Amino acid sequence: MNKLNKLQDLKTTLTQKQRIILLVVAVVVVLGALTATVFRDNAASFLRWMTYSQKDDDFPHNAQSNSLFLGMGDDLLICTQTQIQLVSPTGTARLKETVNMSSPALNASGDYAVVYDVGGQELNVIGQGALLHKLSLSEEESLLCATVNEKGWVAVTSKVSGYKGVVTVYNRDFEAVLTIRLSSRYISDAVVTPDCRGVYLISPGQAEGAFENTLLYYTLSSREEPTRTISLGSNVVLSIRSAGRCWILGDKSLLILDSSGVITSSYDYDDQYLKMGSLQGNGFATLFLSTSSSGTAGTLVTVGTDGKPYGELALDGQTLALAAQGHKVAVLTTSEVISADRKLDSYTTSPNQRGVRNLAVYEDGSVALINSAAVSLYFPSNGTKVDPKADSSEGTS
């Protein structure tokens, strides 16, 4: 009886304002639980949708056929022969830099990207939404390759008269801390290790009359000779990235190295042909492989740091582009846009009805769809979800 009286006393002491506050708190708790349950894997994308869904669907761009697009965090990096732009998903320019490049190329890791002119003299370092550094070589020099690791250290490979290969390493403040000049070896690529204590050089050459790529590992203190030399065989290096590990994408296999000159794992394509690849995923590489050198159908494979696949997904039709960022992957074919996480155990799909020719992935998993004139924002949650395992089990039941 006393407990009942106390409860009644408590109810009578609550003012109307206090009851409203309690009701609001209860609603917030319920909505929070619902959000955590329904949007656990897509909360960031849902917030992006809430922010941009009422705005224009697309924005124009002035890119050409050889222009480059890359998702950098929540922004889109657009590189053309005349301009570098960093824009929001609705086209708001966060960075706009005029350039003069004949053959633009880029490499990105973490919050940093380096944009340079292959065969030219101009190089730009982008980071944290701003132009951090510019480099202009003399007319006697030309850029072959430039890379940046996730701490902002840059490796520049250049062609200099009197040498077969020259590599200069710049620290985060863009101060030159190491220059390697080689007269006996050609150098095609270089990248600073994730711990910023060494640099990998790719040296193409010949062995017994056949093509051979060699990996040279230098510590920042070993200026004269490489600490380790590793034969890559006939594996042609197509792309290289330093992020957690050193990732080397070759035409025959994917190599993963630590920061001390050791190949820790690899993924061989065996009898398959590499059609496309991306090293921009967080802790994984994305490969599109086909059993035919001229065929269009193939398999999408995501490979982790241990050299083992996270998942595989069969693709039909002509694949136009693929991209990755964070744990998300997007693939563009002539007929559809496919979006998935790195496990590829399920995905969402939407028709390619707007002449989309390229794409990029934002950090939250939303996708920039790029046609010849404009960029639009696509949310995978708006697509049709497909579960290959469920479809397979239904077909066999």
- Per-residue pLDDT tens digits for 137-155: 999 999 999 999 999 999 9
pLDDT (average), residues 11-38: 45
Statement: residue 169 has pLDDT above 60: yes
Rounded to whole angstroms, the Cα distance separating 321 from 298 reads 13
Q: How far apart are CA 77 and CA 368, in angstroms?
A: 11
Residue 25 has pLDDT above 90, yes or no: no
- 330 within some domain: yes
Percent with pLDDT over 70 in the chain: 83
Which residue in 297, 303, 354 sits closest to 324, CA to CA? Answer: 303
Which secondary structure element, helix H or strand E, spans residue 332, and what is its range? strand 328-333
- Statement: residue 24 has pLDDT above 90: no
Q: Which two tokens mark 95? A: 């960075």
Total number of domains constituting the chain: 1
The answer as to whether 281 is a domain residue is: yes
Residue 157 resides in a domain: no
Judge whether residue 48 has pLDDT over 80. Answer: no
Answer yes or no: are the C-beta atoms of 265 and 306 closer than 8 Å: yes
How high is the pLDDT of residue 47? Answer: 52
- Would residue 328 count as lying in a domain? yes
The pLDDT-based confidence of 350 (bands split at 50, 70, 90) is very high
Report yes or no on 352 lying in a domain: yes
Q: Which residue type sits at 188?
A: S
Say if 252 falls within a structural domain: no
- Cα separations (Å) of 43 from 34, 47, 50, 380? 11, 6, 10, 12
Specify if 301 maps to a domain: yes
Angle value at C-alpha 82, between 77 and 88, nearest 5 degrees: 25
Does some domain include residue 211?
A: no
Among the ranges given (15-19, 185-189, 226-230), the one the predictor scored with the smallest mean pLDDT: 15-19
Say if residue 26's pLDDT is above 60: no
DSSP strand pairing (176-182 vs 189-192):
unpaired
Residue 325's pLDDT is what? Answer: 97
Half-sphere exposure of residue 374: CA atoms within 13 angstroms, side-chain side = 11
Which residue segment(s) compose the domain that 276 sits in?
272-392
Q: What CATH number corresponds to the domain at position 321? A: 2.130.10.10
pLDDT averaged over every residue in the chain: 88
Q: Write out pLDDT tens, residues 57-93.
A: 689 998 888 899 999 999 999 999 999 999 999 999 9
Nearest to 267 by CA among 308, 320, 296, 233: 308
pTM of structure = 0.85
Give the DSSP letter of residue 150. Answer: T
